[in-house]
Amino acid sequence: MVKGSKEILQKAAKTLSDILVCPLSKQPLRYCEESNSLISDAIGVAFPIKNGVPCLVPRDGKILEEEDASKHDSDTNLSAVNEESLGRSA
């Protein structure tokens, strides 16, 4: 029952992802089943899906480690997110 509803939730998140784009770069998002998150490849940020609800507030995003090269991006909002999450992890 729980597993079944979880699958439905994930399916809902997937159908929703046709409409969703990255809130900062407006580029398409990729669904990652392993981490259950939506990944914006353009800026290297993963947005979590909590309980079937995608959380796309810039503050909720996590910078992906292998994508450090994206830091030179001139998007100021992105750099705000960058510095914040770096400060949190430090």
Partner 1 sequence: MRAVSLWRKQPLSLACRSRTFVSDSTSKIQIFDRQRKRAQRDRAAWSTPLHDPLLHSVSQNLLDRLQDCKKTFPTALCLGGSLQPITRSLSAPPANGGVEKLIVMDASYDMVQACRNAYRASPNNAVQTEFLVADEEFLPIKESSVDLVVSCLGLHWTNDLPGAMIQSRLALKPDGLFLAAILGGETLKELRIACTLAQMEREGGISPRISPLAQVRDAGNLLTRAGFTLPGVDVDEYIVKYESALELIEHLRAMGETNALSQMNNILKRDTALATAAIYDSMFSSEDGTVPATFQVIYMTGWREHPSQQKAKRRGSATISFNDIQKQFGSQS
The site for partner 1 (CB under 8 A) is made up of 12, 15-16, 18-24, 26, 28-29, 50-60, 76-77, 79-80, 83-84
The residue among 3 and 26 lying less far from partner 1, judged by its C-beta, is: 26
Q: How far is the CB of 69 from partner 1 (least distance, A)?
A: 19
Cα atoms in the 13 Å half-sphere on the side-chain side of 43: 27
Nearest one of 37, 30, 29 to 10, comparing CA atoms: 37
Locate 34 and state its tokens: 């392993």
Rounded to an integer, what is the distance from CA 3 to the centroid of its chain? 23
Q: How far is the CB of 19 from partner 1 (least distance, A)?
A: 5
Q: How far is the CB of 43 from partner 1 (least distance, A)?
A: 12
